[in-house]
Structure formats: C-alpha cells, structure tokens
Amino acid sequence: MTHHHLGPLAVVTGAGSGIGRAVARLMLAEGYRVVLAGRREAPLLETGAGHARALTVPCDVTRPDDVERLFAATLERWGRVDVLFNNAGVFGPTASADEISVADWEATLAVNLTGSLLCAAAAVRAMKAQSPQGGRIINNGSIAAHSPRPRSVAYAVTKHAITGLTKSIDLDGRSFGISCGQIDIGNAATELMDAIGVGAGALQPDGSRRTEPTFPVEDAARAVVLMAGMPASANVGSLVVTAAGMPFLGRG
C-alpha cells in the first residue's frame, strides 16, 4: 500500500496539551499525517479539530499494551512511521533526594523515561520493518537535562537520562536509517510552566523567587518541526531553545 502522495507520518505523544498539542497542530498545518496520543481522548480530539490527517489514539505511555496498540493503530491506518515526537512527560514532585517518596520517584520515571523507551522501541521496530526503511525520533528533553531547577530531583534525573536514550537510539539506528535527536526547551509558555510557577515566580538556587521570561509554545513547536523536516541525510542531534534572557546560562 503506497501513500507517497501524502505527507510524512508523525506520532506525537502528550498531544493533548502544551508542546505536544502545538507540534501536532503545526505538523497538520504543514501537511503531515499525525497520530495524536495521550491519556485522555477529549483533549486529543480538540488538538486534531476533526482534521482528516489526524488520528486520535488514547494511550498511557507507561503501559506496554497501550503503546503496542498505539503503533498497531498507526500502521493499520497508514502503514509506516516517519517521525516519533517522544513528548509525554510530567514534572513530578517538588522534592530533593532526601524528601522524595519512592512512589513519586517511580511514577515520574515511569512516564518520562520508561514511557519514552517504550514508544521509541515500538517506533524503531516499525522503522526497521518498513519500506523504505528508516525514520526519525525526536525526544523532548528540557534544559533540566543540562541544569536542574531546585528541588526537582526526579525530573532532572529523567531528563538527563533522556540524553543517554537519545544517543543510544541514534547510534543503534545508524545501519537502519534511523536518526534520533533531542530538543531541550526552556520556559515555553505551557500548563507545565504554570505548575513550576515560572510566571508567578520560580524558585531560584539562592532561595529567592523570580518571574522568569517565557516564549510562545508555537515557537517551540517550530523548532521541533524544523528537526522533523530535515532530510534523511542530516540529523539535528541536540537543539536548545529558551525564552530570551531566562536564568539558565551563567550563575542564574
């Protein structure tokens, strides 16, 4: 079954809100076929807005059966996977290493890390098997992959770990035409940023609170779509995009 007249096929996790929603909508606008994955169906339907090239698949990325079903539905509908945007994530508890409960730690790792692995694994299997072979995986890291916020141990650890996942996928995908890159976004204006309190005053390393600059989520999405649209002969391995002037470089 050939679909060469159609745009590339992208699977976007966490497509019901924030960066995932913005990326899915921009991809649809640019001619991609997009599979919208997320835990709740209603926000996914809102993201897709009845678009003919959008397929909605409720999916909890921490559940292997859900992830298998997501990719089975994708292949049944469109026969291939060109891009996976591994985006589902949670900020997790506000806690330092001595404060975090084991349950909260494991819950954060389950979504941010195991969920990303499960989706990548299913995407790689599809990309190896399809003809033409290959594809691209983009992992949503965070500038927390470089420099943590105070009292965010689970989040910081998972995002540092995503870097290892990204490099491993890219290395192991080499002989199959599979590329992997990581985007680290700082202070895009999303619900997650509100949860951290960026607008109201985010906790700084010196104990003060500061209202930090943010930038539109649509501009973060443009960076993801730039990575997604690179030719197979090129890969953006790492891209950092932040609100101008946010306290990240230097001493904060």
Q: How many domains does the chain have?
A: 1
Domain assignment present for 75: yes
* Residue 127 forms part of a structural domain: yes
**Confidence tier at 2 by pLDDT (50, 70, 90):** very low
In a domain? residue 147? yes
pLDDT, tens digit (0-9, with 9 covering 90-100), for 178-224: 999 999 999 999 877 776 667 678 889 899 998 899 999 999 999 99
Measured between alpha carbons, how far is 19 from 184 in angstroms, rounded to an integer? 12
Asked, for residue 44, whether it belongs to a domain, the answer is: yes
Residues in the chain: 252
**Closest listed residue to residue 59, CA positions, set 84, 83, 95:** 84
Tokens linked to 157: 């650890």
Tokens encoding 241: 């995009």
CATH of the domain at 132: 3.40.50.720
- Nearest to 177, CA basis, from 140, 110, 129, 213: 129
In a domain, 2, yes or no: no
Cα 231 to Cα 29: distance, rounded to the nearest angstrom = 19
Residue 248 in any domain: the answer is no
In a domain, 252, yes or no: no
pLDDT digits (tens, 9 = 90+) for 157-166: 999 999 999 9
Indicate if the pLDDT at residue 83 is higher than 80.
yes
Q: Omega before 58 cis (within 30°)?
A: no
User: Who's near 216: CB < 8 A, 6+ residues apart?
Assistant: 188, 189
Cβ burial of 25 (10 Å; 0-12, 13-18, 19+) is buried
Residue 1 pLDDT greater than 50, yes or no: no
What's the pLDDT at 190? 85
Q: Answer whether residue 173 is part of any domain.
A: yes
- Supply the pTM of this predicted model: 0.95
Catalytic positions are 155
What pLDDT is stored for residue 193 in this prediction? 72
Task: Residue 181: give the domain boundaries.
Answer: 9-242
